[in-house]
Structure 1
């Protein structure tokens, strides 16, 4: 790799781009971040600060935008930004404005394209688990069905960054546990509002899924996202504890509140075919943390890059890209939210290994990689402003609709 030695005049004079929800502000050189501590920056609210600065990297200098969030401040919190349904997408600025967030960044990787499955539309749903306002929205797809760069060794799609009801951030894994009780017995529930179900399983879809088709859920395998779509699929609609309808293929359309659609593939489809309209059925599901028993107020997927102050083994150290990361320090009481700039002068970005090192240099003990490239975006709201401002330049030239994000909120 070659290292850039400076910026051209054209690189300095980045044009300001106006969007429907804010302004893509030009990134001015703000000085290097001090090692061992996050830059203080300018206060957006008590407990929340923003700063931008340059970061050296093997592929050339990149530019960083950083939010520091004091979770120990009772007037500050973070939560999931989402479009209102799992299978929908919206820009970070739209989601932040709708939620009246003070600031935010993009979140998890998501089902963005289905070129390997002709006739099947991408759902836009995220890869990993998602919890918003303490409510479970979805569980993780199988590892082989994920979108995004290769996972570091020892990690999987159940990995999350979350903030518990104790206002502390953690890295954890959220596993789905649930069951479907039928007149013939109990079946394991292995999916919840997911764009891909495990082979031979039964998954549940609720009003939180949205109106998108569920056809993608029976495509691919546990090890190959691009494999074909299963010929064996069956749906059962459960309303008020009884089977209200059955269908021989995945359906679409909004699911009413209080209704659950069960979708089975392969062996799961054969189990559901035993049910008839009128049969009594009950469905239970929850996400269980492996590292903490504290309930999560907020959680989203991605993958860890830093634990206990040490980068994970096997992190990619060759592919540089624009990236988004969230880290924490002080026992999870302080968040560090990083988004790189996608302007031409800085687009070389960081490798995942460099990202982990950068987060550690800012003071993080633990850090988590989120979606990057054209999805990377940070927004902030000025005092009294009706809309947020996009702080970095999205590398695609405009905001990309994404599945979810991390929202920062401050009251008073």
Structure 2
């Protein structure tokens, strides 16, 4: 059964435009799009405007109407809510045997620039208006009690056709009026997670949004570790995933590109060994570099470590597992990499760490000066003014990431060099549905971005202005995250 048969369509609802707050005459302001909203019934959104400071404006945007209801989704043997046709038909038969009527729904997961569309199938039971969520939950429980695992689902979360609604916060920074700078922050350490507002407060930021994805599948003490490149004030604190999208910040300029990084340890005797990672747990036979920002002791895994001072001089060669002294770095080797350290990193020798970040669009090196920060993104959205969602290359080509709607944090650069930061709240049925990956790209193009990237989202999505969270995080409160993008005075 098609989604259209599930929810139907209704006439567009009229929307009222709230008049904008006037901007002080001497302050330069980036224009907000006058075009119709690109999603749903494409009305003119209601918006309010607030001048934050010269060159920075905050817009609160709302549009759409809640017309989606609830259904019951039957879970496949894998635990997912979708599968191949044969699996779905077998599940539908189980539902029928339990005395319920099932529909097998074909769904097309949209194509990305680097990944073809995917045909999947879902098994759905019933349809209830929004006000009757409890009835959908009762039906799901009845099926589960009969041995068929199921759950009540809000249709607005599917990622298919919807009328919304949407609630967004949009921050526009125009370099003609803004005289501050952009920076990244990992907070007090690489491993520790902090809220966006706490990182903003620590540096007296004008505004901030949460940054890239972080590793929730590592040691609990390290779950703020970025999943991809992180550079803070010219210091690489996490290596790049080759070819993955990132946001490069320098002074008050920003650009979106794809990056790769190399780190090589070069001993005084001329012997070289690739450094496999920065500030993360090693696997067998890896050489990992730890900086003082790591925040915890290095792993005691039986390997070897060379402690380097600021000049690269080896001040200690030790067994693995210790603190990173202030002003120092530690080369940690496991297995064969540890043997290399015992042979080529003697005390009082010099070991040079050659770090390079390469812009894959230009082939040029990104020079890591103190005014440079880099935040790794999840998916590229817009390139050269065209929607180009690079979900597979960026590691997020699942149905959940491309098709499903979630809260989103988005960053884009305009043709004139301005920066756009947007949060799309979601997971609030009847209030705001969020966006899928294709919709996120459409939103950033509508806002005027010619280059755009998706940052971490879901419960991590947060925008802070003047020390206050101005969006409504889906967890009900602000989540601690790995890093943040700061707008500094």
TM-score (norm 1): 0.73
1:258 maps onto 2:304 in alignment: no
Verify: 1:51 aligned to 2:155, yes or no.
no
Q: Distance in 2 between matches of 1:91 and 1:55?
A: 28
Alignment match, 1:311: 387
SS in 1 for 2:212: coil
Aligned residue number for residue 473 of structure 2: 394
Q: 1:311 to 1:262 in 2, by over 3 A?
A: same
Aligned to 2:374: 299
Q: RMSD of the TM alignment (CA)?
A: 3.3
CA distance in 2, matches of 1:344, 1:5: 21
Q: Does 1:268 align with 2:337?
A: yes
1:276 and 1:200 map into 2 onto residues whose CA distance is: 16
Q: Residue 105 of structure 1 is aligned with which of 209, 212, 215?
A: 209
Query: How far 1:407 moved relative to its partner?
Result: 0.9
Residue-pair matches, total: 342
Q: Which has the larger radius of gyration?
A: 2
Number of the residue aligned with 2:248: 162
Asked if the contact 2:405–2:426 (Cα under 8 Å) also holds between the matched residues in 1, the reply is: no
Q: Given the alignment of the two structures, is residue 68 of structure 1 paired with residue 153 of structure 2, yes or no?
A: no
Q: How far is 1:212 from its partner?
A: 5.0
1:363 to 441, 444, 448: 448
Change (3 A) 1:276 1:170: closer
Secondary structure class of the residue paired with 2:288: strand
The aligned counterpart of 1:341 is 425
Answer 1 or 2: which has greater helix percent: 2
CA contact (8 A) 1:113 1:121 kept: no
CA contact (8 A) 1:104 1:406 kept: yes
- For residue 288 of structure 1, the aligned residue among 357, 372, 391 is 357
Q: Structure 1 residues 4, 371: CA separation in 2 closer, same or farther (over 3 Å shift)?
A: farther
Distance 2:225 2:459 in 1: 17
Query: Could you tell me which residue of structure 2 aligns to residue 245 of structure 1?
Result: 317
Query: C-alpha separation between the residues in 2 aligned to 1:142 and 1:294?
Result: 15
Query: How far 1:43 moved relative to its partner?
Result: 0.6
Counterpart of 2:238?
Answer: 139
Structure 2 CA distance for partners of 1:99 and 1:109, relative to 1, 3 Å: same
1:200–1:266 Cα contact (<8 Å) kept: yes
Q: Distance in 2 between matches of 1:309 and 1:200?
A: 44
Compared with structure 1, are the counterparts of its residues 72 and 284 closer, same or farther at alpha carbon in structure 2 (3 Å cutoff)? farther
Compute the displacement of 1:5 (Å). 8.8
Seen in structure 2, the aligned counterparts of structure 1 residues 267 and 321 have a Cα distance that, compared at 3 Å, is same
User: Matches of 2:55 and 2:193 in 1, distance apart?
Assistant: 29
1:235/1:368 Cα in 2 relative to 1: closer, same or farther (>3 Å)?
Answer: same
Quote the residue 1:236 is aligned against: 306
Deviations 1:92-145 (A, max 9, x none): 11111111111111001112233xxxx774341112222233x223232657xx
Q: Is the 8 A contact 1:342 1:392 kept in 2?
A: no
The answer to whether the 8 Å contact 1:327/1:336 transfers is yes
2:390 and 2:375 mapped to 1: Cα distance? 23
Unpaired runs of 5+ residues, structure 1, are 7-30, 144-154, 216-230, 382-387
Higher relative contact order (CA 8 A, sep 6+): 1
Query: Post-superposition shift, 1:305?
Result: 1.5
Tell me which residue corresponds to 2:227: 127
Instruction: Give the secondary structure class of the aligned counterpart of 1:274.
Output: helix
For the residue of structure 1 that corresponds to 2:194, the secondary structure is coil
2:263 is the counterpart of 1:171 = no
